[in-house]
């Protein structure tokens, strides 16, 4: 007797789990792959001012004439003075105990003006190094965090005027406020 054999139905292999595993392996290898540092850099000398996304050319850095201003406080307020340093090459000491133009004697006014004129002369000497071209040089006045005290406003303005008198209009000022003492912090907290 012959047993009839049924022809097997066509079976299909389910590819979905295999595709999932392949994609997971691809992602794993992409995330764990590390390039050598030499392979990451490509040396090229392409023009940067032409093309679809041109990069603008920046002017070269300007030279600076730096003026630092310090206030030296002493126990006696009549002996406090402002110290001016120009590029760490020249130092000037403004008259001690300066109270302002309206409160000083003519002799002290002349001494103050002579010192400011000397500061201006030192700035002019530094400007001569750069060909007396005020547009090629940047001025910078900085008052570092005060240890001795806050530099009077009039002293900073006199230094700024020295730059402006020489035709230098590109002047940057940098300073910090004096930290508040306990009493000032308490007053500020009470006013809020």
Domains in the chain, number: 1
pLDDT for the residue 110: 86
Per-chain mean pLDDT for the chain: 77
In a domain, 191, yes or no: no
CATH number at residue 139: 3.30.420
Q: In 3D, which of 82, 80, 63, 79 has the Cα closest to residue 157?
A: 82
Predicted TM-score (pTM) above 0.85? no
Mean pLDDT over 152-172 rounds to 81
In a domain, 21, yes or no: no
Q: By residue range, what is the domain housing residue 104?
A: 63-175
- Is the confidence at residue 136, as pLDDT, over 90? no
In a domain, 7, yes or no: no
In a domain, 88, yes or no: yes
pLDDT for the residue 61: 52
Mean pLDDT over 110-135 rounds to 84
Least trusted range by pLDDT, from 83-92, 93-102, 124-133, 164-173: 93-102
**Cβ–Cβ under 8 Å, residues 96 and 111:** no
In a domain, 46, yes or no: no
In a domain, 115, yes or no: yes
Tell me the percentage of the chain whose pLDDT exceeds 90: 7
In a domain, 123, yes or no: yes
- Is the confidence at residue 45, as pLDDT, over 60? yes
Upper half-sphere CA count for residue 169 (Cβ side, 13 Å): 1
Mean pLDDT over 166-187 rounds to 74
- Is the confidence at residue 59, as pLDDT, over 60? no
In a domain, 87, yes or no: yes
Structure tokens at 69: 């201003």
Mean pLDDT over 37-66 rounds to 65
DSSP 169-187: --EEEEE-PPPP-HHHHHH
């Amino acid at each position: 007797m012959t047993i009839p054999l049924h022809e097997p139905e066509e079976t299909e292999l389910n590819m979905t789990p295999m595709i999932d595993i392949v994609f997971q392996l691809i992602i794993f290898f992409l995330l764990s792959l590390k390039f050598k540092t030499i392979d990451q850099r490509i040396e090229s000398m392409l023009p940067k001012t032409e093309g679809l996304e041109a990069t603008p050319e920046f002017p070269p850095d300007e030279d600076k004439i730096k003026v630092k201003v310090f206030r030296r406080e002493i126990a006696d307020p009549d002996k406090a003075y402002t110290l001016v340093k120009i590029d760490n090459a020249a130092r000037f000491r403004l008259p001690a105990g300066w109270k302002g133009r309206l409160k000083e004697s003519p002799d002290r006014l002349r001494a103050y003006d002579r010192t400011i004129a000397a500061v201006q002369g030192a700035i002019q000497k530094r400007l001569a190094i750069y060909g007396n071209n005020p547009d090629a040089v940047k001025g910078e006045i900085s008052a570092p965090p005060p240890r001795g005290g806050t530099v009077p406003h009039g002293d900073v303005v006199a230094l700024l005027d020295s730059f402006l008198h020489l035709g230098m209009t590109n002047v940057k000022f940098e300073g910090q406020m004096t930290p508040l003492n306990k009493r000032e912090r308490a007053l500020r907290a009470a006013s809020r």
